[in-house]
């Protein structure tokens, strides 16, 4: 019975971390598997600050990292991947691989928190020249510069005077195959625009959008703040393509509230790339036989009322592995998945008695 | 009524003449090639104009902006044009707003045209960019104490025709209960004077202990303030406060909602803090003391003045007076109370008639008169001194002479109480 007391958590981003902590707090053992050599997942690896509060990521996440790393009931396995699984609820036999050394672990339940990967803006019909123009970058590239405390045009190394964000890159597009909204990019672009204005008060920052989708409190916490306090210019109308003009970029689209074409020169263009299921998420779908829903993310069975139970008994999902999520939702799902996993184990104990 | 077309045509037929609209594209490039953000930044840097930058383009204002029903103008468009580099200080847009407050009522972001307009206009006035006819009104006000250019010594002349005592404070030399602040159009305009006579008789019939400032009164100045002449406003306010301070009275009653607004919100900041009522509020509290002897068997509709209604929340007092009139059937227009349309006279509109005509298809007053007629009214009752002349002109210019009378509520009351002999042209 002791081994069935363990919940395996795959992925150590916000959802996996919270799941591990919650499992431990509920009195079971958590085994937290992470392929990278660092806890924290995508936000920790790629984002200098968090949305919406603009707090430094490493500082913000330190509390949960410490809680997980120092908890005696959490077994953290870095540089480790899941390669195979057999068995079922109460007795999954999961093969883990660390640098080629494989072990088989018996666990009672599983939480998959393998997250998302950023959309590759070079794909499909995205005519933004991401791989052609140095000064077309993504939100992630911008965060890398923010970590160093600056923002420059990669082509010159000098600060940009005019910056354009293009929203919905890789999202809401039937031709690309991603019909969904990635949920967080409007907020992240607005957050970044505030950071750029803080670093470069004289820069002119534009956000070109189809619809601004600022859920809940993000509306006034970042969108209104960016517009009203930081004078960020929101222009309704998306950019179709980018053309090189001298050492600048000519962005072409429609200014839809004016009903006219728009062709404006920019120094730096930041693509608000959306979310796709990560390789790990796709891999876990295969290994654990979790069906993927129509957008390619892991399927849950309860619709809006159960966001964490997959069709496979004993296997739960948390965070962006189940579809685009912000950190708040990922953490909430992590706790929810952990509670349900522990609950499943407890029911087994009752049945045995 | 002609239906609006979903798509603007390149070729329109107006009065049988084909007009091509595509020619203008030869002169202006279609594509927007620059967002000159400096202009928006400069504009929102003007104290009071900050909230222009808050607009997120929902367009709620456009639906209720009276000016956009007759011209290509609304707060949303003002923001976009400014964002595109068109300076509001240089744009005719700056002078089209009547400060009716309907946009602010519906704006989710609280883009406050009631603060933006006077602030940016003040800059334009200082830069010498105000329309000439507005400057004339300013000059008249500065020189004569009224925007019409009438002699300040004749400000109390109308009282001689009142047929009742209208005490002037300087001569009365004793405290009064009510200080009646008459204002310019009620003192000088022929139709305004008729309403003043009616109100004077009503106050007498109610045995009100009242007095007026007479020639010591100057324009309250609120519309000049909204039109961008804050300096002039402060000068006028200082004068009026000084004159009022000489006398002892319990409260002020005003004829003009614009003066009401000034006494309520602006004069206190400058040291002139007295209880103030619009005359409809004052009379509504004393309705039981009025005995009505004549019936007015007419359908009456009421136009809420922007500065009594939306600006200051008083919708009921005028209606209580109108529904007390024997014989009257009060019909409400579609646009009434909070959604009331604007007569076009506020925020300096009173003095920008020729200017505005170049940018609008018709006057706001004309649109309002058409609505009154559409709702079957015989009489359009008003209670702002700007409105009688504006609507009477509009009745004529829309070809409705004889179909709709425009009456101040004071005139209707005075007639029904038996204090005057006529209540309407028809």
For A224, the closest chain B residue by CA position comes to B54
Listed in sequence order, the residues at least 6 apart from A122 whose beta carbon sits closer than 8 Å to its beta carbon are A130, A131
B56 touches chain A (CB under 8 A): yes
Same domain, A124 and A206: yes
DSSP H or E stretch at residue B196: helix B190-205
CB atoms within 10 A of CB A348: 18
Distance of CA B86 to the CA centre of its chain: 28
Asked if the domains B27-126 and B291-417 are classified in one and the same CATH topology, the answer is no
Q: Do B30 and A260 touch (CB under 8 A)?
A: yes
Mean pLDDT, residues B196-219: 98
A194-225 per-position pLDDT tens digit: 999 999 999 999 999 999 999 999 999 999 99
**CB of B202 closer than 8 Å to CB of B290:** yes
- For residue A234, the distance in angstroms to the closest alpha carbon of chain B comes to 8
CATH of domain B291-417: 3.40.50
Do A238 and A253 touch, CB atoms closer than 8 A?
yes
| Nearest alpha-carbon partner for A342 in A321, A316, A310 | A316
Asked if the model's pLDDT at residue B81 lies above 60, the reply is yes
The answer to whether residues A157 and A261 belong to one domain is yes
Percent of chain A with pLDDT over 90: 93
pLDDT grade for A1, boundaries at 50, 70 and 90: very low
Mean pLDDT (chain B) is 94
| Span between the terminal Cα atoms of chain B, in Å | 27
Residues of B in Cβ contact (< 8 Å) with A236? 57
C-alpha distance across the termini of chain A, in Å: 11
**Count of domains in chain A?**
2
Query: What band does B14 get if pLDDT is binned at 50, 70 and 90?
Result: confident
Question: How do residues A35-44 score in pLDDT, each as one tens digit?
Answer: 999 999 999 9
- Tell me: do A195 and A110 sit in the same domain: no
Query: Rounded to an integer, what distance in angstroms lies between the CA atom of residue A27 and that of residue A18?
Result: 14
Condensed to tens digits (0 to 9), the pLDDT of residues B23-51 reads 555 566 778 898 989 999 999 999 999 99
**Residue among A204, A257, A263 minimizing CB distance to B57:** A257
**Residue A257 and residue B80: Cβ atoms within 8 Å?**
yes
A209 touches chain B (CB under 8 A): no
Element (H, E) at B224: helix B222-226
Task: Report whether A199 contacts A171 (CB < 8 A).
Answer: no
3 state DSSP class of A165: strand
Residue B49 forms contact with A (CB below 8 Å) = no
Residues in B closer than 8 angstroms to A263, CB to CB, are: 31-33
ipTM above 0.90, yes or no: no
- CB-based contact B84 A258, cutoff 8 Å: yes
Mean pLDDT of A114-142: 91
CA distance A81 to chain B (A): 47
pLDDT bucket at B315, cuts 50 / 70 / 90: very high
| Residues A224, A248 within the same domain | yes
Interchain contact B160–A (C-beta under 8 A): no
Q: pLDDT, tens digit, for every residue of B163-183?
A: 999 999 999 989 999 999 999
Domain ranges of chain B: 27-126, 132-284, 291-417
**B368 to chain A, closest Cα gap in Å:** 29
A187 plus A96 within the same structural domain: no
Strand order of the sheet with strand A315-317? A74-77, A29-33, A6-10, A109-112, A315-317
Of B32, B41, B56, the CB nearest to A234: B56
User: Taking all residues of chain A, what is their mean pLDDT, rounded to a whole number?
Assistant: 95
Average pLDDT of B271-288? 98
**In terms of domains, do A159 and A253 share one?**
yes
pLDDT at A349: 87
Q: Report how far apart, in Å, the C-alpha atoms of A93 and of each of A287, A314, B289 are.
A: 12, 13, 95
Q: Distance from B74 to chain A by nearest Cα, in Å?
A: 13
- Residue of B32, B40, B41 with shortest CB distance to A260: B32
* pLDDT score at B422: 72
Interface test with A, best of B29, B31, B34, B110 (most A CBs within 10 A): B31
Structure confidence at residue B22 (pLDDT): 56
Q: CA of A218, closest CA in chain B: separation in Å?
A: 15
How many C-beta atoms surround the C-beta of residue B349 within 10 A? 29
Examine the domain organization and report whether A26 and A111 are in the same domain.
yes
- Binary contact (B35, A212; C-beta < 8 A): no
Shared domain for A91 and A174, answered yes or no, is no
- For the residues of A143-155, what is the DSSP string, one character each? HHHHHTT----TT
Note whether A123 and A98 are same-domain residues: no
* Separation of alpha carbons B296 and B291, rounded Å: 14
Digit-coded pLDDT (tens) for B240-263: 999 999 999 999 999 999 999 999
Q: Which domain holds residue A86?
A: 3-115+278-352
C-beta separation of A110 from A341 below 8 A: yes
Peptide bond preceding A38 in cis form (omega within 30 of 0): no
> Residue A212 and residue B56: Cβ atoms within 8 Å?
yes
The secondary structure of residue A228, as a DSSP letter, is I
In angstroms, what separates the C-alpha of B223 from chain A's closest C-alpha? 29
Could you tell me the fold of the domain covering B27-126?
Fumarate Reductase Iron-sulfur Protein; Chain B, domain 2 (1.10.1060)
Please name the member of A235, A236, A264 whose beta carbon is closest to the beta carbon of B33: A264
Domain of A48, CATH number, reads: 3.50.50.60
- Mean pLDDT to the nearest integer, A342-348: 95
Q: Do A264 and B57 touch (CB under 8 A)?
A: no
Find residues 76-105 of chain B whose CB sits inside 8 Å of chain A.
Answer: 76, 80, 83-84
**Tokens encoding A301:** 């069975």
- Contact list in B for residue A260 (CB cut-off 8 A) is 30-32
Per-residue pLDDT at B77 exceeds 80: yes
**Order of strands, edge to edge, in the sheet holding B329-330?**
B329-330, B299-302, B379-382, B405-408
CA closest to B41 among chain A residues: A231
A257 touches chain B (CB under 8 A): yes
Percent of chain B with pLDDT over 70: 93
A188 and A236 co-located in one domain? yes
3-state DSSP assignment of residue A292: strand
Residue B7 has pLDDT above 80, yes or no: no
- Could you tell me if A297 and A322 are in contact, meaning their C-beta atoms sit under 8 angstroms apart? yes
Mean pLDDT of B265-280: 98
> Do A246 and A284 fall within a single domain?
no
Domain ends where: A231, A246, A274?
Answer: A274
B132-284 domain in CATH 3.40.50.1860?
A: yes
If you count DSSP H runs as helices and E runs as strands, how many of each does chain B have, helices first? 18, 10
A260 and A152 belong to one structural domain: yes
Confidence at residue B4, expressed as pLDDT on a 0 to 100 scale = 61
pLDDT of residue A350: 85
Q: Does B41 touch chain A (CB under 8 A)?
A: yes
Contact B31 A260 (CB under 8 A): yes
Closest residue to A255, CB basis, from B32, B53, B76: B32
Q: Of the residues A231, A253, A274, which one is the last residue of a structural domain? A: A274
Q: How confident is the model at residue B5 (pLDDT cuts 50, 70, 90)?
A: low
């Amino acid at each position: 019975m002791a081994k069935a007391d363990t919940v395996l958590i795959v992925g150590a981003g916000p959802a996996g971390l919270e799941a591990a902590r919650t499992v431990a707090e509920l009195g079971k053992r958590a085994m937290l598997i992470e392929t990278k050599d660092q806890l924290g997942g995508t936000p920790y690896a790629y984002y200098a600050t968090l949305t919406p509060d603009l707090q430094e990521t490493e500082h913000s996440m330190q509390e949960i990292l410490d809680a997980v790393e120092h908890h005696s009931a959490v077994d953290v396995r870095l540089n480790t991947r899941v390669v195979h699984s057999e068995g079922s609820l109460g007795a999954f036999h999961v093969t883990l691989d660390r640098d080629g050394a494989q072990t088989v672990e018996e666990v009672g339940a599983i939480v998959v928190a393998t997250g998302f990967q950023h959309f590759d803006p070079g794909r499909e019909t995205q005519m933004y020249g991401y791989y052609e123009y140095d000064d077309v970058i993504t939100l992630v590239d911008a965060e890398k510069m923010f970590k160093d405390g600056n923002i420059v045009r990669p082509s010159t190394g000098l600060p940009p005077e005019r910056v354009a964000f293009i929203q919905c890159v890789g999202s809401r597009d039937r031709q690309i195959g991603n019909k969904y909204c990635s949920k967080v990019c409007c907020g992240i672009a607005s957050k970044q625009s505030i950071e750029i204005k803080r670093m470069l008060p004289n820069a002119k920052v534009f956000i070109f959008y189809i619809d601004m989708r600022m859920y809940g409190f993000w509306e006034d916490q970042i969108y209104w703040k960016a517009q009203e306090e930081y004078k960020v210019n929101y222009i309704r109308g998306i950019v179709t393509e980018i053309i090189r003009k001298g050492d600048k970029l000519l962005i072409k689209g429609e200014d839809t509230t004016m009903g006219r074409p728009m062709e404006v020169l920019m120094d730096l263009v930041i693509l608000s790339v959306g979310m796709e299921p990560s390789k790990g998420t796709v891999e876990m779908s295969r290994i654990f036989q979790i069906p993927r829903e129509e957008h390619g993310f892991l399927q849950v069975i309860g619709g809006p009322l159960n966001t964490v139970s997959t069709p496979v008994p004993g296997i739960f999902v948390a965070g962006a592995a189940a579809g685009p999520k912000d950190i708040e939702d990922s953490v909430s799902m992590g706790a929810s998945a952990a509670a349900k996993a522990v609950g499943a184990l407890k029911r087994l104990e009752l049945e045995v008695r | 009524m002609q239906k609006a077309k979903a798509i603007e045509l390149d070729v329109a037929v107006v009065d049988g003449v084909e007009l091509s609209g595509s020619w203008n594209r030869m002169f202006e490039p279609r594509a927007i090639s620059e967002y000159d953000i400096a202009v928006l930044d400069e504009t929102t840097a003007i104290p009071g104009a900050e909230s222009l930058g808050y607009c997120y383009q929902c367009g709620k204002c456009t639906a209720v902006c009276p000016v956009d029903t007759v011209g290509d103008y609304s707060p949303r468009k003002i923001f976009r044009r400014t964002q595109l580099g068109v300076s509001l200080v240089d744009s005719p847009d700056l002078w089209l707003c009547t400060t009716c407050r309907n946009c602010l009522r519906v704006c989710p972001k609280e883009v406050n045209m009631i603060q933006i307009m006077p602030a940016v206009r003040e800059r334009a006035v200082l830069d010498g960019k105000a329309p000439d006819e507005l400057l004339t009104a300013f000059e008249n006000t500065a020189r004569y104490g009224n925007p019409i250019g009438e002699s300040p010594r004749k400000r109390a002349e109308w009282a001689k025709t009142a047929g009742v005592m209208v005490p002037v404070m300087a001569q009365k030399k004793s405290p009064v209960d009510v200080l009646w602040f008459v204002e310019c159009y009620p003192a000088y305009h022929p139709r305004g004077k008729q309403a003043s006579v009616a109100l004077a008789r009503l106050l007498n019939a109610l045995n009100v202990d009242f007095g007026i400032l007479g020639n010591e009164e100057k324009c309250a100045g609120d519309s000049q303030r909204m039109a961008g002449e804050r300096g002039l406003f402060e000068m006028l306010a200082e004068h009026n406060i000084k004159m009022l301070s000489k006398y002892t009275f319990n409260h002020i009653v005003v004829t003009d909602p614009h003066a009401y607004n000034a006494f309520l919100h602006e004069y206190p900041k400058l040291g002139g803090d007295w209880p103030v009522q619009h005359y409809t509020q004052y009379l509504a509290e004393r309705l039981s003391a009025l005995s009505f002897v004549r019936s007015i068997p007419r359908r009456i509709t009421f136009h809420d003045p922007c500065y009594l209604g939306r600006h200051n929340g008083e919708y009921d007092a005028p209606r209580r007076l109108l529904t007390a009139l024997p014989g009257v059937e009060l019909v409400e227009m579609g646009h009434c109370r909070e959604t009331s349309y604007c007569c076009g006279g506020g925020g300096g509109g009173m003095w920008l008639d020729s200017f505005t005509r170049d940018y609008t298809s018709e006057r706001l007053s004309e649109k309002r008169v058409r609505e009154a007629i559409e709702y079957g009214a015989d009489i359009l009752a008003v209670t702002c001194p700007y409105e009688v002349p504006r609507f009477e002109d509009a009745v004529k210019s829309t070809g409705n002479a004889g179909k709709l009378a425009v009456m101040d509520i004071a005139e209707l009351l005075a007639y029904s109480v038996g204090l005057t002999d006529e209540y309407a042209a028809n």
